[in-house]
Structure 1
């Protein structure tokens, strides 16, 4: 009993009331049934925990493999970084992926305390000033400037081959996360036409390349895409995507507010169309 209670307290379950479940369980069929029910809960929760841990591990391994291939096949760094696409992706990796999707995930676990210290010691040997969000913003602007100068369509640029693995027969392009970051920046700059194009590309990549790294969720994309479409006056599609957000997260505060605003706009549009038909 002590060991079980200790484990439950460790996982924050000590606040539950076990009195009715365990009192006299050895003499009670109901008490034994209660133990089975508790075990079912524990099995389910630990399975979810292990599934998540496995997903995190697989995601990290994909990213490490991806970076290893990039470094292995980089012959001329000067030529490589002369392409704004390549410059953007490496800055994006440091400003976003290494920190938020690798270090934050790995170092959040207490079992990695020793690893954290060892990593800090190793990093301390190198005087490296990591790229910031401002650096990523600058790289994004360079990339968008190149797109405008060359007159390239967003769909073409988003699917341009950055790295080709002949052994695997795979081509690496901008990821869903890359397209999302660009679209998010354009939303912040109120350039909603271009933002919508990049966010749609992010959604496309996230749907078709779900097993690739870096990760970005459909919810994250929709949180910017739906408002951008609303700003462009495409209220019908904005409302549909906003409803998709609420299906994923029924308590999403911004989506709940947008739902009211979009329903009003759609109602006014229907009234306007009805009046036009009457006039005709």
Structure 2
């Protein structure tokens, strides 16, 4: 029960990594504040967690909305101890394919949402020596094709992680990031369906294709990423701050120019 009497705020909590993280932290005693833009998925997650969960629908990039989330968390649980900044997902297209509106959407979804959420929670985190986990991506370290907005904003999350760690470590606040590769989630399922349509593959064949050059040769499961988040948020990593941890089936260990030699 590593998170007994701890209160965790999770953005993008309705599906995928966010939902898995909510279940993981609650299973170890945490109270969880679930937020996202769509109420129905949030309520479905909360239904399985009982009194440990509080649902507060909100756009994580909206300062007023996140101030309200913190207020509701205070009313129900008294404080916020942990933040998992997981919301995100936009930013497809090359630079020339990305309009001003598309660029702003990517910034809001992937970067501003994390910044606004953590800024709103920092008074609580400073008061209690809390912890932040940013969900970046392998795209925060490397560039995939035609994802300019996503790549730029996920890279920026690494910088935000280090900035929070540097500025607030003196108050006992830790900030770290996890960089997943391909993870089997509803969002990734949509991407696999698109790849499958393009290449004439099933969804599972598409997952096999995109992971065939990773050492583990499979996507991660959302629960596996939730385990990494729990480690970074929990007491076992008490001396760890300002780092990113890849959870990518080994993709970042591969020397790309040698793939042809395998």
- For normalisation by structure 1, the TM-score amounts to 0.27
Question: Could you say which structure has the greater relative contact order, defined with CA pairs below 8 angstroms and 6 or more residues apart?
Answer: 2
Name whichever structure is richer in strand by fraction.
Answer: 2
Name whichever structure is richer in helix by fraction.
Answer: 1
User: Which structure has the greater CA radius of gyration?
Assistant: 1
- For normalisation by structure 2, the TM-score amounts to 0.28
